[in-house]
Amino acid sequence: MIETLHSIGISNGMMTSTVITIALCVVGIIAGRRLQVVPSGFQNFAEWAIGGLYQFFEGIMGTALCKKYFSLIATLFIYILFSNYVGLLPWAGHIPGVAAPTSSVNCTLAMAIIVFVGMNYVGIRAHHGIGYYKHLMKPFAFLLPLMLIEDLVKPMSLTLRLYGNVYGEETVTESFFELVPLGLPVIMQALSVLMGLIQALVFSLLASIYFTEAGTLEEEHL
């Protein structure tokens, strides 16, 4: 069955991504059933985790923006976190059908485009129209090419940072495995655990910072 999916063009990363999405939705539904006012058990853990994330992003985005856009930022964080960790499962990449979704540039590019479109949407909404793009001429009008490039490089850097980290970790782990099969890849995998968390945090943090920059009006900066 996996071969027929490959022949249509569905890659390993896409299949794993679907499984991750369904699993996260199931976990969310289970955490949200039979809510109690004083939480206990799994609901307690879920409230602690999401509450901690909300406080963290509220410190960066401010209360109004955080209320509107927290779901997008937190979804990006949780999805990228689990995608990075799928690559660490035993035999990941060698079983047909299991591969970290973020190890493919297509996945990270899609998420970066979502962040870019979201950033423009937040800006246009906050400035009530196309006046948002006046910020490209802000310090001096002749800096327009520079500001344009800075704006366009944002999604590219998001893409390449996440893709490079995850794909690089995978490749280095494989090379270590070919050198010394026992013990050496564990060092790289331990590093992957730390770097996976950091990259997920950096992606969502940068997304929230871009939203904040786009969404605050000029008078509020000072």
Partner 1 sequence: MGGLVAIGAALAVGLAAIGPGIGQGIAASKALEGMARQPEAAGMLRTNMILSFAFMESLSIYGLLIAFLLFAKI
Binding site for partner 1 (CB under 8 A): 157, 160-161, 163-165, 167-168, 171, 198-199, 201-202, 205
* Minimum gap (Å) between residue 39 Cβ and partner 1: 26
Our CB check for partner 1 shows the closer of 14 and 201 to be 201
Q: CA nearest 110: which of 137, 134, 83?
A: 83
Our CB check for partner 1 shows the closer of 56 and 69 to be 56
CA distances for 195 relative to 93, 138, 169, 170, angstroms: 19, 36, 9, 12
* Minimum gap (Å) between residue 32 Cβ and partner 1: 30
Alpha-carbon distance of 118 to 97, in angstroms, equals 31
Residue entry with tokens 């059933």: 33
Alpha-carbon distance of 161 to 23, in angstroms, equals 26
* Minimum gap (Å) between residue 110 Cβ and partner 1: 18
**Is 158 exposed, middle or buried, given 0-12, 13-18 or 19+ CB atoms closer than 10 A?**
buried
Our CB check for partner 1 shows the closer of 24 and 109 to be 109
User: What single-letter DSSP state applies at residue 94?
Assistant: T
Our CB check for partner 1 shows the closer of 56 and 132 to be 56
* Minimum gap (Å) between residue 96 Cβ and partner 1: 23
